[in-house]
Structure 1
Amino acid sequence: MLLINNKTSYFKEIMNKKLIRITVLIFVFCGFTAKAQHTAKAKKPFTKDIARIIKKKSVQFAMHTIDSLDEETIRNMIVLNEISAPPFKEHKRAKKFAEMFSKTGIDSVWIDTEGNVLALRKGKKRDKTVVLDAHMDTVFPEETDVKVKKEGKTYAAPGIGDNTRGMAMLLAVLNGMDMASIETDADVVFVGTVGEEGLGDLRGVKHLFSETSDIKIDSWISIDGGGNGRIINGGLGSKRYKVIFKGPGGHSWGAFGLANPHHALGKAISIFVEEASKYTDIEGPKTSFNIGRIGGGTSVNSIPFESWMEVDMRSVSPKRLLEIDSILKTSMKKAESVYNASAIKDKVILEIKPIGDRPSGILAENIPLVQRAIAVASYFNISPVLITGSTNSNIPISKNIPAITIGRGGIGKGAHSLNETWSNIDGAKNIKMALIITLAEAGIAD
């Protein structure tokens, strides 16, 4: 744990209906969305309140500051992006992020036991805690070239949009609040989370909502993904497994007839795809399955001693997610039994390892945080659309804690690819959105 300022005082004070058989999935990167629900409209009390907040001289000054510091925000984005942050190795980027927060003079900055960066800006009343979050990890291995190349207003590098842009936005929001001398009623904690992507399985945010967390969170706002107007208020749940069939292994000629894990895996895939397809064809909340990776074996002339696949299943419905999860496990056990009962020597042994578990859920459109986000987007002439997606917000949403994920703005392309780009086209607008949503949720002190 890295302690930079005074953490102790804080503790004290506080895509068809059928879909392609083996590649059925909602194909989006982890921070991307499932399916738009509808264009949303805020209720009048919230539109009036947001207009009142934005008219305040201090808030106007904060927004002006965000515009004036745009070049600094870009520099921060580049510096952070050029520090590699592969899955489970985010510590170097986290250390730099913490140092950046510390230089602002914020009340307290630390890195928790899971590796998350937390920067506390104390409120006047301290009656609740509002988090503004951006995940620090990327999908790229450590050796990936992450140096940023610039052409006009476009910046190219793996991870530049997803999600170092989001990280830089947190610093910009804080700078805007500080330079405008805005005090909030609630504590605001700026958080850089680890483990949002892939096999990270939301480990950072899971820790923050666990019993061992350093803070108790009342409202959660994440910055992730692209479009200006998308507001994620629903968590797309997923369950992921590595399914392994093991056998004795042997020579393809000399041991011919010996139990072959690859053959067993092939049967398992066939059984699962057939049963899962029947289930996903049933009318109900959208549910998907995908076999994303297959491996095992040592050579073409060897009977493998191991065969494995990685399976991803998703649903907006917790009930449907549990049901397709059961179909996978039943299908695998059936395949093991059927294959071992065939005319083979010896047998295969099945092992099912969980490698991911993201809970699903949805928050009502009329809760204050969602309404505030809709009202802020509308104020900036952005059409707000409520979305279900797979992001850090899954965890608080599943616990019925007010949570949303908003986009990072600008124009992003090629996320999760080596050719990823982000263009600074009206990029400051989403920083202002994040600022106003945070202030509305935390309350501006009198």
Structure 2
Amino acid sequence: MHRLLAPAALSFLLLSSTTTFVRAQDAPAPPIDKRYTDEIKKLTDLPAVKKAFQTFIDLEPQTKQDLITLTETPSPPFKEQVRAKKFAAMIKEAGADSVWIDEVNNVLAKRKGRSGKKTVVVEAHLDTVFPEGTDVKIKPKGDTLYAPGVGDDTRGLTAILAVLKGMGKVGIETDADVLFVGAVGEEGLGDLRGVKHLLRKDGGIKPDSYIAVDGDGISTITHRGLGSHRYRVTFKGPGGHSYGSFGIVNPHSALGKAIYHFTTEADKVTRQGIKTTYSVSVIGGGTSVNAIPYESWAEIDMRSESPEKLNQVDQLLQTAVQRALKEENSIKRQGPDLTVDVKKIGDRPSGRIEATTPIVQRAMAVSKFLNAEPHLEVASTNANTPIALGIPAVTIGSGGIGGGEHALNEWWLNDKGYLGIQRILLLLLAEAGVGK
């Protein structure tokens, strides 16, 4: 889940960063339509649901052990296959009708519904931000569990496991088919690749609604997808001695011009309207203080929940790069021209579903029922992709309290964590219908 920047502890160092914005005020959450509060109350009155609620509490020791087991199963970016195999075995044992691992290592577990006329996805992501070799051993301190990835999003995986176990133990049937998913590639340069593959036009699934489980607590409801474009811009020249080759093109000079032109223009268009951000986040190149570099590169991030605003800032970057290329080539005194390569390394779709949409209203009603105040928000999660495709989708937390996401000292505390599992079940049943 993307809300915070990765910490310096991971050596994800930002060598040059410019972010300029004025935060757009979130509109107040709309009232919850009474029909949805009535719907949730009706569900909670069902004997099987009451039994499931108690079952989740009874399962807490096993759920904790599942969290330890999965957290200590490494899942580095683009290398999620070990955890995928472990999770597939665990979810099969939890009672799924069929389980398989797809071409990109997503884990899919189907629980058949009474009619099967609809499909509801409940998903958490398998990957973490931590590179191969990171110590992922759980270190308990009192009731708090410390380990990289323990909350983001291993807790989400264990929560959906518990939901499946509870449904099986008390015999809850749904009308719709339910697809429990452990998705790869949510973090960083994974670029939501798991869910993009899952929902691809040719050969993908076409769910009727989508519930992503990411983060903690029982209040937040992400119904707006924070889109992002990310680029690696590389200027290239012949390189040479700083004195003997003076007058050839200098990639660093061009990159500096590009950054200046981009940030100057982007500042103007991001000071009002929907919050839109930009950051020149990593730069590199060069070999020695007495050598004109042969290349200079930068990685640039831009974000907005507005596709139009995101594309506008993107175009400013493209224009700035070409302007800098032209300017640097115009002042050369000898040698070949400078060239530039602009490579898109990330493309997360943006969009929103209205707060009056049934899935959002139901999520709000569930939080209210559990005595939590619903909080609607924008974030970059796996729900971005279904939202952009017009599929009703939200991201909700998995319960408990956590912190330090993307840091080596990440932690999670089981403060009534079962409420998060109850919340997932209620929203799932509201979307999938209870089998008769």
Q: Normalised by the shorter chain, which TM-score bucket?
A: over 0.9
CA displacement at 1:25 relative to structure 2: 6.5
Q: Please name the residue that 1:59 is paired with.
A: 49
Q: Does 1:256 align with 2:251?
A: no
CA displacement at 1:264 relative to structure 2: 1.0
Q: Distance in 2 between matches of 1:92 and 1:324?
A: 39
* TM-score, structure 2 as length reference: 0.93
After the TM superposition, which residues 208-287 of structure 1 pair with which residues of structure 2 at under 5 Å, given as runs? Answer: 208-281=198-271, 283-287=272-276
CA displacement at 1:34 relative to structure 2: 9.8
8 Å contact kept, 2:125–2:186: yes
Q: Please name the residue that 1:207 is paired with.
A: 197
Amino acid at match of 2:116: R
CA displacement at 1:255 relative to structure 2: 2.1
Q: Does 1:321 align with 2:300?
A: no
Q: Distance in 2 between matches of 1:410 and 1:111?
A: 29
- Secondary structure class of the residue paired with 1:345: coil
Q: Please name the residue that 1:299 is paired with.
A: 288
After the TM superposition, which residues 10-159 of structure 1 pair with which residues of structure 2 at under 5 Å, given as runs? Answer: 22-24=17-19, 37-159=27-149
Deviations 1:376-433 (A, max 9, x none): 0000000001111111111111111100000122111111011111111111111110
Gaps of 5+ in 2: 5-15
8 Å contact kept, 1:40–1:385: no
CA displacement at 1:36 relative to structure 2: 5.3
- Secondary structure class of the residue paired with 2:230: strand
| Residue 278 to residue 344, structure 1, CA distance change in 2 (3 Å) | farther
| Residue 25 to residue 132, structure 1, CA distance change in 2 (3 Å) | farther
Q: Does 1:438 align with 2:428?
A: yes
Deviations 1:269-326 (A, max 9, x none): 1111111111112x32111101111111223332221111111111121111111111
8 Å contact kept, 2:29–2:355: no
Task: Pick from 355, 361, 364 the counterpart of residue 371 of structure 1.
Answer: 361
Amino acid at match of 2:121: V
CA displacement at 1:144 relative to structure 2: 0.7
- Secondary structure class of the residue paired with 2:32: coil
Task: Pick from 377, 384, 392 the counterpart of residue 374 of structure 2.
Answer: 384
- Secondary structure class of the residue paired with 1:96: helix
Deviations 1:332-368 (A, max 9, x none): 1001001110144332111100011111111011211
Amino acid at match of 1:376: V
Amino acid at match of 1:329: Q
| Residue 35 to residue 439, structure 1, CA distance change in 2 (3 Å) | farther
Deviations 1:1-52 (A, max 9, x none): xxxxxxxxxxxxxx9xxxxx943178xxxxxx99854345321011011001
Q: Distance in 2 between matches of 1:91 and 1:155?
A: 24
| Residue 37 to residue 223, structure 1, CA distance change in 2 (3 Å) | farther
Amino acid at match of 1:261: P
Q: Distance in 1 between matches of 2:130 and 2:66?
A: 20
The farther-off stretch of 405-414 and 338-347 is: 338-347
Amino acid at match of 1:239: H
Deviations 1:210-256 (A, max 9, x none): 13445321110001123421101111111111111011112233323
Gaps of 5+ in 1: 1-14, 16-20, 27-32
Q: Please name the residue that 1:336 is paired with.
A: 325
- Secondary structure class of the residue paired with 1:87: coil
- Secondary structure class of the residue paired with 1:392: coil
- Secondary structure class of the residue paired with 1:127: coil
Percent identical pairs in the alignment equals: 51
- Secondary structure class of the residue paired with 2:408: coil
- Secondary structure class of the residue paired with 1:38: coil
CA displacement at 1:153 relative to structure 2: 1.4
8 Å contact kept, 2:30–2:356: no
Q: Distance in 1 between matches of 2:20 and 2:316?
A: 16
Q: Distance in 2 between matches of 1:35 and 1:79?
A: 41
Q: Please name the residue that 1:175 is paired with.
A: 165
Deviations 1:56-90 (A, max 9, x none): 01001111111110111111111111111111110
- Give the aligned CA root-mean-square deviation in angstroms: 1.8
Q: Distance in 2 between matches of 1:374 and 1:245?
A: 49
Q: Distance in 2 between matches of 1:344 and 1:120?
A: 66
Q: Distance in 1 between matches of 2:262 and 2:152?
A: 33
